[in-house]
Structure 1
Amino acid sequence: MSANLLALAAIALWASLAALGVALAHVPPFLLTGLGLLVGSLIALPLSRFDWRQWRVPPTTLAVGVYGLFGFHFLLFIALRHAPPVPANLVNYLWPLGIVVMAPLFLPGVSLTGRHVFAALLGFAGAALAILGGRASDPNAPLWAWGYIPALMSAFIWASYSLLTQRVRAFPNAAVGSFALVSGVLALLCHAWLEPSTALSAKDWGLIALLGLGPLGGSFFMWDAALKRGDARQIGVLSFLTPLLSTLVLLAMQREVPGWPVGLAAAMIVGAAVLATRRT
């Protein structure tokens, strides 16, 4: 499978995160993340053909993986608790833009062209329109909240993690399972420290399994494979599809018809992706 198709598959899985999050809104976020990541780490078993040696990576590589998976979710949850969710989510979606503009700083031999910059800005504008137009914003929301700072930091972490994995010593795709395993344990420790205990039903466990196999598991393996095979600048622009698809999934769940802002956002994001992936 090509790098862009792998990236799109990961993006499609991430688009289901909001819908699953709505269905599991009663579960504390760190508990949900920890269990999802632990389930997701199990995907590495068949990938490695149950060879644990493929899970082993140097300590610096493991630190990069935990920095990305745990650091991103930890700061995002803090942001969502201390800032209005819609604009905080918008700030967090600066990470695709970060991948595009920071690629030359992290990856040798990669340069930034005006075409990629324009495509990134167009994609971000489309993502902003998808979020703000796909959900009713709160007119009473404050103009500023300190939670925007961790939202911005989470965006930087995911963008830099995605690029740093290309700078460390090459590691098997199955090693992403060790990133998810350690990050899941840390998230559960945060749950024990910060959140009340919660009883889970059989339905909750089933949805958590889907969460782990999809947006908190399978997507990370696909994302890693895509970055190893493709152009980080193109993949960064394609990532702007995530908030658009997520908004469409939520609207479908609520049986609402997308309005013109979502349609315009789709045209802007698709246009940005075509522009960024054009070979000339």
Structure 2
Amino acid sequence: MYRAHSTVATPSWFSIIAALVAVMLWSAAPLLAALAHTSSPLQLTALTLLAGALATLPLSRSVPMARLSKGWQASVWLGIPLLIFGAVSSYFVGMRLAPAAEAALITYTWPVVFVLLSQWSRLRTLRLSGVIGALIAFSGAALLLLPQALNDGLGGAANGYALALLAACCWALYSWLGQTAPVALTPLLPRLLLVACAIAAAASLLVEGSPKALSSEALLAGIALGLGPYGIAMVAWDKALRLGQASIVGSLAYGVPILAAALLVVAGMSVLDWRLPCAAILVVVGCCSAGRRDG
């Protein structure tokens, strides 16, 4: 999942192409998760994170962790894997309990949460643009949920929406830690994903029991999730931000909610309804508003 960087460089076609690759792969995540619906969610989480760790191995580098305080070492080696596990597993479970497109859209409000958290940690206050962006983005989510809630209640889907919001909060905290950590986390990503995979495997054994054989479709979808959205996409995004201008490259990521919803509709996993594209646009506008600086 993407996060903001402060790298400033001359924009290049390579950085734009790399960013578009990452955006397309992230947009495919809800569709791939829906295709793997026959698998147990925690087992799917472990498989996805293992594939992601293997896909990001080229990023692995040694990092001087010994000079960090004990608190930061614990945050990196335990806190971040727990957040990754929480984000991915909550996302997968949420999409089982609620409609996939709506749950995915709620998860994609995480950049707004990240902006608010970042502003508060740096300034001890919230910028007006951040508050307005949050209101716009969450009004998109409300546009999807309120009609159902007013008519016959959310029912079991309420738990799915809550888990999707939990996934958003986990990604926001992960990104905030990545921004404030005293060392670069990208070279540690393969090992962090492996630790998160071990946590997911242990949770699967405790909650879901012995591993079950996956269907070929679920197995391929799980591997694709790890190799793509949680693997190659992270590598491509890292390259794009280091070789291009962060403000230009970062703006491309706001198209993820719209593309993700479109893929689900085209694949027949979601019904096209006027509220879905309108909500996706509101989430994108909210993210853009929250991310811009006040004049």
> Under TM normalisation by the shorter chain, which class is it?
0.7 to 0.9
Match of 2:115 among 100, 115, 120: 100
| Residue 213 of structure 1: how far off its partner (Å) | 1.0
Distance 1:55 1:182 in 2: 19
Aligned AA for 1:36? T
Query: Structure 2 regions of 5+ residues with no counterpart?
Result: 1-8, 67-72
1:42 and 2:54 equivalent? yes
Does 1:215 pair with 2:215? Answer: no
**Aligned match of 1:64:** 79
SS in 1 for 2:230: coil
Q: 1:127·1:243 contact (CA, 8 Å) conserved in 2?
A: no
1:74-223 equivalences under 5 Å are 74-76=89-91, 84=98, 92-106=107-121, 108=122, 112-129=126-143, 139=152, 141-142=154-155, 152-196=165-209, 197-221=211-235
* TM-score in terms of structure 1 length: 0.72
Q: What amino acid sits opposite 2:118 in the alignment? A: A
Matched-pair identity in %? 30
Matching residue of 2:42: 30
Instruction: Give the secondary structure class of the aligned counterpart of 2:39.
Output: coil
Measured at CA, do residues 118 and 8 of structure 1 come closer, stay the same or move farther in structure 2, by a change above 3 Å?
A: farther
Deviations 1:20-41 (A, max 9, x none): 1221111111111101110111
Kept in 2: contact 1:71–1:157 (CA 8 A)? yes
Contact 2:45/2:85 (<8 A) preserved: no
Query: Unpaired runs of 5+ in structure 1?
Result: none
Amino acid at match of 1:217: G
1:14 aligns with 2:26: yes
The answer to whether the 8 Å contact 2:23/2:256 transfers is yes
Distance 1:269 1:172, change over 3 A: closer
Report the TM-score, using the length of structure 2 for normalisation. Answer: 0.69
User: Alpha-carbon deviations, 1:9-54, whole Å to 9, x = none?
Assistant: 5443232122112211111111111011101111232234xx5x35
CA distance in structure 1 between the aligned counterparts of 2:215 and 2:151, rounded to whole angstroms = 32
| Cα distance in 2 for residues equivalent to 1:162 and 1:277 | 14
Count of aligned positions: 268
Shift of the alpha carbon at 1:189?
A: 1.5
Distance 1:85 1:154 in 2: 15
CA contact (8 A) 2:41 2:89 kept: no
CA distance in 1 between counterparts of 2:103 and 2:64 reads 34
Alignment RMSD (CA, Å): 4.2
Distance in 2 between the 1:150 and 1:242 partners? Answer: 19
| Structure 1 residues 79 and 22: alpha-carbon distance in aligned structure 2, compared to 1, 3 A threshold | closer
